[in-house]
Amino acid sequence: MLKNKVFDYSAQIGVIGLGYVGLPLAHACVKSGYSVMGIDTDLQKVAKLNKGQSYIADLCDADVASLFGGGKFSVSSHYGTLKSCDIIFICVPTPLNKEGQPDYNLLFKAVESTAEILSPSQLIVVESTVAPQTTEKNILPRLSKKGLLVGEDFFLAYSPERIDPGNSAYNLANTPKLVAGVTENCTKLTQNIYEQLGMFVVTVSSPAVAEMAKILENTYRDVNIALVNEMAQICSENGIDIWEVVSAAATKPYGYQAFYPGPGVGGHCIPVDSVYYTDWAQNGKIGASLVRHARDINAAMSKYVVDSLSTVLLNNGRQLSGSKVLVLGVTYKRDINDQRESPAVKLIELLSRRGALVSYHDPYVEEIKVNGRALHCSRFDKRLLNEQDCVVMAVAHKWYDLRNLSSSCALIFDLTNVTVGLGYRKNIVSLFKHNCK
């Protein structure tokens, strides 16, 4: 029985998609004593793992090496190897396509490949973020194609991942895990396995509730960031310092959570999940105009930053076109190597379209694509800083020494007010503050 195998650690586990979500999950399973088969269609990742190399910030090479150490982990790009697994977690990407719309192709492909090898009594758990009702309306029918009955012949559950890469305070072990099976026994089995991994499980009544909860968590952030981004622009127009406003509001001990303005929202989750939601909701009577509008505000921030930089340069006697601009940090947030949907990359694209001579540096990113072309990370040295008309502090990785920067640059445009601790410096201007006295 699967339940017994879960409790005595003899259950074989498969993890499909060994990225930011799947690899730490595989690591947690091996650490708990299970044997894990990892599947990824990216052959480079498979090769790296086989060499004991990590490609995500939350696991180091030693962690990857330890995965293989006890002979309990193997990786492959062939689904056939999953046939013998008792539990299969699906952790593949659910991105946006070129038109900015939800792209379920990778997920449905992974589900269809799983359906090919689906055997009686297997438990399939989907962790990828999806629009509400996807598990029951789109995943279940694909898995049931061969006639196996859910809740009897096989088990299916949805459990959204809430991982926050680079967050040292919250990880898989101390972030409650939402779980909902298609049937009650699907829920129970899924709860059992996550609890064996040391997680605190919260069960909900249906996959749709768990799917919607994940969407709520992330659209909540998108909407609140949009609120403060819009307010920041209005404050700037009126000479009010939004950073001081947010700090002042944050002194209220209840009923308020601080969100900070900036150059936009990036990453694989927040800007993407909002679109999965609005796309899904548009078929109903209500729509989701609030979230749609919030998304538009956040997406337009890169343009606002470029216009503001143009003003700042003009105030310093320079035109944006022809100015040398170095962007520091291109990931979607500080101290990680993930540049998906990064506002800084969008900013570089807009700057180069407006004629700026733009380069970038990021200690974690060797190359980015700018308007379809490769741009390499510049060598970070005094000469590079000295020759810039403006250095844009886009992502304040701890790697950067702000004090040294400020003494080596003619002009710094700080997008996240990270230089506030340095006190007033003539050569530093913060976004939204350039109109303030």
Ligand X SMILES: NC(=O)c1ccc[n+]([C@@H]2O[C@H](COP(=O)([O-])OP(=O)(O)OC[C@H]3O[C@@H](n4cnc5c(N)ncnc54)[C@H](O)[C@@H]3O)[C@@H](O)[C@H]2O)c1
Catalytic positions are: 269
Considering only 34-42, 203-211, 224-232, 326-334, which stretch makes contact with ligand X by CB under 6 A?
Answer: 34-42
Residue nearest ligand X, Cβ-based = 19
CB atoms within 10 A of CB 184: 11
- Interaction between residue 161 and ligand X (CB under 6 A): yes
Among 15, 37, 40, 294, binds ligand X (CB under 6 A): 40
- Smallest distance, Å, CB 221 to ligand X? 12
Residue 378, CB half-sphere, CA atoms under 13 Å: how many?
Answer: 21
* Stretch in the footprint of ligand X (CB under 6 A) among 10-18, 133-141, 221-229, 386-394: 10-18
- Binder of ligand X out of 94, 298, 388, 406 (CB under 6 A): 94
Site for ligand X in 113-132 (CB under 6 A): 127-129
Query: Interface residues for ligand X in 251-280 (CB under 6 A)?
Result: 268-269
- The footprint of ligand X on this chain (CB under 6 A) covers a number of residues equal to 27
158 is written with which tokens? 């949805």
Q: In the set 35, 37, 45, 210, which binds ligand X (CB under 6 A)?
A: 45
Return the structure tokens found at 193.
């396995």
Which x/- pattern over 46-85 shows residues binding ligand X (rule: CB under 6 A)? ----------------------------------------
Q: How far apart are CA 371 and CA 356, in angstroms?
A: 14
Among 165, 271, 329, 343, binds ligand X (CB under 6 A): 165
Q: Among residues 39, 143, 208, 348, which is the contact residue for ligand X, using CB under 6 A?
A: 39
Residues 6+ away with beta carbon under 8 Å from 211: 130, 131, 132, 133, 134, 135, 158, 160
**For the stretch 111-139, what's the b/e string if a residue is b when 16 or more beta carbons lie within 10 angstroms of its beta carbon?**
bebbbebbeeebbbbbbbbbbbebbbeeb
The single residue among 109, 137, 353, 376 that binds ligand X, judged by CB under 6 A, is 109
d(CA 179, CA 303): 40
- The DSSP call for residue 248 is H
The smaller minimum CB distance to ligand X, of residues 45 and 361, is found at 45
Instruction: Tell how many helices (H) and how many strands (E) occur in the chain.
Output: 16, 15
List the beta bridge partners of residue 414. Answer: 393, 430
Query: 81 in the Ramachandran plot: left (φ > 0), alpha (ψ -120 to 50) or beta?
Result: alpha
Region binding ligand X by CB under 6 A among candidate stretches 41-49, 246-254, 307-315, 323-331: 41-49
Using DSSP's 3-state secondary structure scheme, residue 50 falls into helix
Q: Phi, psi (5° rounding) for residue 67? A: -60, -45
| Choices 40-48, 140-148, 250-258, 289-297; region in contact with ligand X by CB under 6 A | 40-48
Interacting span for ligand X (CB under 6 A) from 145-153, 160-168, 230-238, 296-304: 160-168
| Residue 93 binds ligand X (CB under 6 A) | yes
Q: Which of 106, 227, 384, 418 binds ligand X (CB under 6 A)?
A: 106
Amino acid at 393: M
DSSP secondary structure code for residue 62 in this structure:
H
Interacting residue with ligand X among 6, 13, 15, 16 (CB under 6 A): 16
Distance linking the first and last C-alpha atoms of the chain: 71
Beta-strand runs (E) in 80-120: 87-90
The CB-of-7 to ligand X minimum distance in angstroms stands at 27
Q: Counting contacts by CB under 6 A, is residue 134 touching ligand X?
A: no
How far apart (Å, rounded) are the C-alpha atoms in residues 238 and 357? 31
Tokens 């899904």 belong to residue: 280
Output the smallest distance, CB 20 to ligand X, in A: 4
Residues that bind ligand X (CB under 6 A): 16-22, 39-42, 45, 91-94, 106, 109-110, 127-129, 161, 163, 165, 268-269
